[in-house]
Amino acid sequence: MTLHKEGFTIMGVTALILFLINWATWYLLPEMEGLHLVILILSVIFFFLIVQFFRVPTRMVTLDETRVVAPCDGKVVVIEEVVESEYFQGPRRQISIFMSPLNVHVNWNPISGVVQYFKYHPGLYLVAWHPKSSTDNERTTTVIRTSQGVEILFRQIAGAVARRIRWYVKEGDVVKQSTQMGFIKFGSRVDVFVPLDAEIKVNLNDKTIGSVTILAELAKG
């Protein structure tokens, strides 16, 4: 396991603030040893929680052009047929994954291919499970076209706590399945849109492992 580059500044600033708090407590209240211990323990726990948020686990990733893998860790909260109006302008099957603050927050490319479309949308910060978060919240939309001509769309969506989305792709990029495409800080959601003839491989409330769990299998031919 390694730590993600998106967390270096936050972890450094957090460590400095916690150090100053503990130093000030010892300096200003030298006789309150019990308070010193409590603050130290709470500081260690808080710093551990921050560090674990930016962890990047080592995994046996999935590489199969006929299968769409989960772009993030989390829980499946939506599986339904919808009309995708930004790019496809037509019906698709939507699979939504909610990421809690305890999940790994790296985002991976769900399929190999060429980035046909990318757009960043500023927006609101509704809770990630709100039905309108997919269209009203701050978000990115990415469409990858496989070598077979199948297009998969997925969205990084900010939540009420997540206020920063990072992405490492742009239109024209050739991307490989299960490689990093971005990061969302502190709880959020990712929506994936697949063709109607794709076979869904997950159920509601299933836990997903980013870059490993198979969300859907694409129709052959």
Active site residues: 188
Token representation of residue 120 = 């960043």
Report CA-CA distances (Å) from 158 to 105, 120, 162: 12, 12, 5
On whether the CB atoms of residues 69 and 108 are closer than 8 A, the answer is yes
Burial class (CB in 10 A: 0-12, 13-18, 19+), 56: middle
Compute the distance between CA of residue 15 and CA of residue 142 in angstroms, rounded to an integer. Answer: 35
The gap between the terminal CA atoms of the chain, to the nearest Å, is 39
DSSP-derived pairing of the beta strands 139-145 and 151-158: antiparallel
